[in-house]
């Protein structure tokens, strides 16, 4: 498993876990994580 695959899996995990942890999914949410990955 190379670094690009790891990145893709990480992004998917964050997209799934974000809303559960109060991230709100696409819009923003959990501090720096929300602003990095929530577009």
Count structural domains, the chain: 1
- pLDDT tens column, 1-39: 788 999 998 888 877 776 666 554 454 445 555 555 554
pLDDT of res. 16:
74
Task: Give the CA diameter of the chain.
Answer: 30
Identify the domain containing residue 10 by its residue range: 3-35
Q: Hey, what are 9's tokens?
A: 């899996």
Residue 10: per-residue pLDDT: 86
pLDDT of residue 4: 92
| Global pTM exceeds 0.85 | no
C-alpha 24 chain-centroid distance: 11
Please give the pLDDT value at position 22.
58
- Residue 31: what pLDDT? 55
């Amino acid at each position: 498993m190379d670094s690009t695959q790891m990145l893709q899996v990480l992004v998917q995990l964050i997209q799934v876990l974000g809303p559960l942890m109060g991230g709100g999914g696409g819009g923003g949410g959990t501090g720096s994580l929300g602003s990095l990955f929530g577009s």
